[in-house]
Amino acid sequence: MNVINITDLKKEYNKIAVVDIPLLNISQGEIVGVVGNNGAGKTTLLRLCLDLIKATKGTVSLNGTIVSNDDCWKKVTGSYLDTNFLLEFLTAKEFLYFTADAYRLSHAEIDKREVIFKRFMTDEITGNRKYIHELSSGNKQKIGIVSAMIIYPEILILDEPFNFLDPTSQFELKRLLKELNTIHKTTIILSSHNLEHIIDLSSRVILMEKGRIAKDRKNDSKDVENELRSYFEL
């Protein structure tokens, strides 16, 4: 079953197309890694998926709902693209409770689920009363990612989630994403410049170039890794 459907999607700025995707379907339970050089259209695509910007033409549907027509898809979608998703005058705990309220989860349930993310969050985040704006970029990144994952969404959308994270946190994040996908069947779409993590994590890899999909491959063989590395080494 497809949970993300993109049809005739185009986004233009000054009549120049920065995203131009005739058709893209993503099935339930897939982990889709989106790669490409700067300006390839990765972040714009994710913003279109979340209805943060309006398409010039075409549609994005999440769970059968066109995102620009109805908000019901938000109830089953977790996302984190950048610090604009945070409320930096709150503490980490307050922000997680804010997320709980938005998704109609009890604070007790959030406390229970937070244990799963303990190694990723660390006491540096959860063990003090610092406001989010006082934290490092890496710790802000962690709070945003956890807030998107802790709701156990049906669909998870992340932009460059490995940015600002130390190596230990990067590997822990990969473990958490795989676990979320395995246990909750979450469909995940994420962009990253880190080919190693994308290849290790994704079941499918999409390569974007100048707003278009240049390659769309199942990540089921060593050939996919070699093909991507050859592309970026040119």
Contacts of 139 (CB under 8 A, 6+ apart): 124, 125
Q: How many domains does the chain have?
A: 1
Question: Residue 35's domain is classified under what CATH number?
Answer: 3.40.50.300
Q: Find the domain containing 117 and state its range.
A: 2-233
Q: The sheet that has 212-218: what strands, in order across it? A: 77-80, 155-159, 187-191, 31-35, 204-209, 212-218
Its sign, for the CA torsion 186, 192, 195, 197, is negative
Angle between helices 107-114 and 92-102 (to 10 degrees): 120
Numbers of helices and strands, H then E, in the chain: 9, 10
What is the DSSP secondary-structure string of 104-136?
T--HHHHHHHHGGGHHHH-HHHHTS--BGGGS-
Mean pLDDT by 10 residues, the chain (234 residues): 94 96 97 95 98 97 95 96 96 96 96 94 81 94 97 98 95 97 98 92 96 94 84 80
Burial class from Cβ neighbours inside 10 Å (0-12, 13-18, 19+) for residue 193 reads middle
The b-or-e profile of 35-52 (16+ CB within 10 A means b, else e) is bbeeebbbbbbbbbbbbe
Contacts of 19 (CB under 8 A, 6+ apart): 9, 10, 11, 41, 44, 45, 48, 211
pTM of the model: 0.95
Task: Choose among 2, 46, 96: nearest CA to 206.
Answer: 46
Burial class from Cβ neighbours inside 10 Å (0-12, 13-18, 19+) for residue 196 reads exposed
Cβ–Cβ < 8 Å for 187, 30: yes
Q: What is the pLDDT of residue 234?
A: 61
What is the DSSP secondary-structure string of 169-188?
HHHHHHHHHHHHHHHH--EE
Q: What is the pLDDT of residue 184?
A: 97
